[in-house]
Structure 1
Amino acid sequence: MQTIVFDVDDTLYDQAQSFHQTVREQISQDFTPEELDNLYKKSRKYSELLFDESERGGEITTFEWQTGRFIKAFENFGISMNQEQAADFHYSYKDAQANITLFPEIVELLELLKNQGKQLAILTNGEEGHQSMKIEQLGLTQWISEDHIFISGTHGVAKPKKVIFDIVEKKLNLNPTETVYIGDSYEKDIIGAKQAGWKAIWVNYRNKEIPEDSKIRPDQELHHPSQLLTYFASTS
């Protein structure tokens, strides 16, 4: 049986919408849509870097990761933000994520894959409580059973480390060559999945570049949820 494993953030829904909403509510300065998107990309970049530090034996605390990503991102735009202000931004951002919805094409895709009899699962980085809240808000258990949902915070190890992929593989009794991982992060999702021996689809919605020194390539690179739907519809 082929298994399809999904990342969550910026793979199944657009996380930038919650971010944009929070910026408009919390920051008095006006931003163009392009500036908002660049600010979001910076916040994601620093989020991944600081998340890695928080995972490496507690180099920084979770709170320092959550606030530091915004402090550093806004710094790039000449906006000074202290830790208290960054904490307010973080909690407002978290509240905004209570309204997230799946891309319409993802709803169709999950229905298609379920009807095809595929085994579906989720593997996502983050705190257990926060990621569980998003998974519940997105209604993903309509298609994916709770025992097929894996959150890095639950297991104490995160993507791209092979250990977390091995945990999923063992729990679900996967055949790596028949397992496809779908995610938006080249560094976390594609490298992690390929090193585990899985196939990997990079949903590169924001047109990021693969680092020049990297020899790892995704099996497919897609740029819109509609392309993901079309890909699986055509390969059924």
Structure 2
Amino acid sequence: MNYSTKIKWSFVSALLASLLWVIGDILIVGFYVDPEKYPLFTTTYANELDSTLALLMIEGSTQRLMWGALIASMSAFLFLPAVWLAYQFFKDKSKPHAWMTYFILVISVVLMPLGHADFFYSGELFKAIYHTDAIAHPYLIEMASSFTTVLYIAWGTAIAVLLLGWLLFSIFVFAGKTVLPKWVGFISPVFMTLYQQPIKMMLPDSLLKSWISAAGFNIAYLIFFVLLFVFFRRTKLEE
């Protein structure tokens, strides 16, 4: 496989991975829930568990949450060619700033599946609290507390490493360390995620807003790689 073919299939992999993760995010946490319908979480146990997390998946069927977890987690490896693709745009790939950024992005891909899949287990546990008798709640709430801790550590670490990697990528694009024009730094996944915030603030509470909130970073991934592919194709045609 020649270098040009590797680049092409890396773009395909990046776009497919982004799309699958958008679908996975929406399936697992893309719900619009009225908190007033669930006083058990918003009032009764408000001080004993994370009510926001509890409501996030309370209306999802087991099958939907399961597929949301599996579709994304089992396709995470498709992001490896995507971050390799970003690495290819560095002018000197042997420099520490290049391979360090690449290494951080690879680590983020490794961390992503656990953080994502944890939402399934937490969601099922919160549903169990809602659908069981109060006598079982103390034990389930204690379990939920542990599950929530694991989720936030796994998911939070993955997001932090992901943001760091793409922020470094943007910084090096701005610094002229890549073959990309400097404006590309402003369309990296970090910035594309930031651009979504005012849009979400303007949208009323709705299913659409929930979907954008659920899949925000992977929507940013998808848009970034689409724009990068368009730029790459245009550059190739001009050569």
TM range (shorter): 0.3 to 0.5
Instruction: Give the TM-score normalised by structure 1.
Output: 0.32
Instruction: Give the TM-score normalised by structure 2.
Output: 0.32
More strand by share: 1
More helix by share: 2
